[in-house]
Structure 1
Amino acid sequence: MKQYNILFLCTHNSARSVLGEALASTHPSGLFVGYSAGSTPGTSVNPIAREIAIELGYDESKLRSKSWDEYGSPDAPKMDFIVTVCDNAAGEQCPYWHGNPATAHWGFPDPSQVQGTDLEKRRAFNEVKNGLKRRLDILASMPLDKLDSLSLKEIHTKS
């Protein structure tokens, strides 16, 4: 079975994009290899995002904030899909992506900005996780070899 590389982008690559990477890589379809990066990566992955990724069965050693420059080089893995998950990254000038991948914006509020109890913060992260999972489930049910950017963007309206 062919696997598709999907890169999730956000500004700091510490929460939403990391959840996307973990969800794609652990998706029950086995169709995806998830990656994540940021335009101005932070110094670490958010602790709640880290916990959720590990709960999903994602390899903890892969959890780190990365610059999107890592995936713009000619020797980087070829991406089939690029998905921005925060408004800042959607509006930024992205690097050139080799192979002309399909792109989309699946925006989610930043769960790391939620103030309140630990339970309220965890709830915000779970909402992002569940939203990304729904969109990945829809993506997995589509004819992936025929998708283009327009089709990928329609997933946002179906979830």
Structure 2
Amino acid sequence: MFDSTDRALRLAAGGRTGEAASAYRHAAERLDNTGMWGVEQGILGLALASLGESTVDSGPYMPWVRPGDTIPESPRDLLLEARLCLTARAAIERGDRVAMERVFELLLPAAGELAAGSGLVTFGPVAGYLADLADALGRPSAEYRELARKVATSARR
């Protein structure tokens, strides 16, 4: 069961989004009826959102996958960085400088990590989101882009 999720994670971390989406769908089939509410309720939608796809129901993660008029605060749990990455995307898309500043500061301590490298889903290197936020805020981003490259390379191994 977890071999499937590991394969999906490696494909996602390596930027192979089409293959990762297929692998996530296969893994989700194998994770049905696990008795783990967080896995059964929306994890496939969250995983696909990590790849830029937001068409699948993501259950309790919907407010971050497809935010309405306001971007909600995130619970401080194991998927905090995943939600913050979604918040970063939405804030950049909307040009919401206040949200961009807030999420930049919240993501900064995890700059050298994969976002939500939980064993089930990853949003890739946090530094990539920091670079995108820095660009949107008119700040230097090269340092974050290089760190994102290093983290992604390391994750493929």
* TM-score interval, smaller chain: under 0.3
Higher normalized helix content (fraction of residues): 2
| TM-score normalized with structure 1 length | 0.26
Please report the TM-score for the alignment, with normalisation by the length of structure 2. Answer: 0.26
